[in-house]
Structure 1
């Protein structure tokens, strides 16, 4: 049976397109069938050249067919990427040799139920963000966990995140960084007018709920990973729980998550075990 690899890139970035062309040529020379920006059906690996936005787009394709995803950062932070552009030749060799291990990342399933009972379904690897539908108004909402209401307030939004998403929108909103091997769900209110509106971390079997209160007929928007949108009317309930299908990431090294944090966020570690900044 012939081998197949899907290559996904940011077509709007010339450097990403050129890098993808080189990768496709190298893979083809090894006798591997290359699919460019298509379906992951029948593929053994999805290779992504771009930033986190491109990786999130590729995750939709990979997750549908339970195929591992390998990201090469050609964007800004590239937190989900496994390698930088200068490592491309080695990445190709490792992909050809199947010299990588696969790590599963928890996802969330999202259901938005309208007052009339109609439902919209979504999923995310980073977060579901419940945001105000109108720029000039807050979204009035009640949050709940495991069938019990916790607090009601007006806010700009509420981020319901995975550990993977803890370094994305939830981090910008003041939420904690959660190691990806920790099974948990996060709730991070954004600019909330309330005394009890601190970020929360709950167990992986908990069910999170956000009810959009029917004040002045306000509506809201739910964004899944900032890519998939659900418009919800006042009175709707958004339910989030652990996803049934994870996203599988191909890893080339055993670098701990702390090392990734330092590298991606350029964190200062001077003084750690004698490291000095000057002679």
Structure 2
């Protein structure tokens, strides 16, 4: 019996309703269906009383989601897609993403296109796009204390009401650099249209084998975004006396103390997304972010005296 999965945002009534309807429909078609909430991919935030809450990467894989699963559908917005990718990337299961949220930058189809999307996938009329993911790790006293998969970005920043931070950052074999800023971002090409874009970084097309490092509000005109090979290991040491906060993909984080270090590297796992048409990145930029839209001021006809 073929096996499929459904991952949905259980805080949104429309996603819950559609998940139930899809479950019934696919079972009638003879599929073994496994349904779960995308909340399982959210690692949660640390607290001062519990500064590190480590869940090993492979432990996030849900039961019954394995290489035998044909595909999984994700019902939600970008946050649900990010959580689902973290859950299933180690299994290699491809994701059909349906937007029931707002922006939906990472989703493939809208809810009103769901019947056609299901027909295409069940008939095998689709391609699979691979997106690079990162492994983010925090070491305390040289012991691995926290880790997570990352599709968009890792952000290491100061806590509220503390001063500007200093970061000593080494990329690959290159000499370390010191950056004074409110924080730093390490982003994938997928994440280049998220927080990295808001922080002044360039948009990077998917498939380009690079990462980018972006200082947040740097205290130097020379500190700008840096693009480098995604095969380079990034090591960050906080060079200040206050603890920092690390957030991955906006929904998982931990505290980083002055004696800790953060490592970011390309993951052996990639996020696999089902594409119902050839990927057209510039069109997505145009529709979602308004990139490339014409801005032409046409003069009004005025009769001269």
Q: Structure 1 length as normaliser, TM-score? A: 0.89
Aligned with 1:243 (options 267, 272, 280): 267
| 2:218 maps to 1:192 | yes
Give the aligned length: 269
Aligned in 2, Cα 1:24/1:179: closer, same or farther, shift over 3 Å?
same
The structural deviation recorded for 1:150 is 4.7
- Report SS of the residue matched to 1:113: strand
Find 1:83's aligned residue among 93, 96, 109: 109
1:28 corresponds to: 27
Q: Give the distance between the partners of 2:170 and 2:264, measured in 1 at CA.
A: 11
1:218 aligns with 2:239: no
Select 1:227's aligned residue among 251, 259, 262. 251
State the distance in 2 between where 1:54 and 1:82 align: 13
Match of 2:165 among 129, 134, 139: 139
- 1:186-226: per-residue Cα shift (whole Å, max 9, x none)? 1011111123210111012222222101x3x3111222212
Deviation for aligned residue 1:268 = 5.4
**Other structure's SS at 2:186 match:** strand
Q: Please say if 1:67 is aligned against 2:66.
A: no
Which consecutive unaligned segments of at least 5 residues does structure 1 have? none
Mean Cα displacement is larger for which, 152-161 or 53-62? 152-161
Aligned to 1:101: 127
1:194/1:268 Cα in 2 relative to 1: closer, same or farther (>3 Å)?
closer
- Measure, in 1, the Cα distance between the counterparts of 2:295 and 2:161: 45
Q: Is the 8 A contact 2:179 2:215 kept in 1?
A: no
TM-fit CA distance, 1:135: 4.1
1:55-113 CA distance string (max 9 Å, x none): 11111222131101110011111111010111011111122222211111111122222
| Unaligned runs of at least 5 residues, structure 2 | 37-61, 299-305
2:178 to 137, 152, 167: 152
Between the aligned partners of 2:124 and 2:23, the Cα distance in structure 1 is 16
Contact 1:133 1:139 in 2 (8 A): no
Q: Tell whether the 8 Å contact from 1:46 to 1:58 is kept in structure 2 after alignment.
A: no
SS of 1:243's equivalent?
Answer: strand
Q: Secondary structure at the match of 1:26?
A: helix
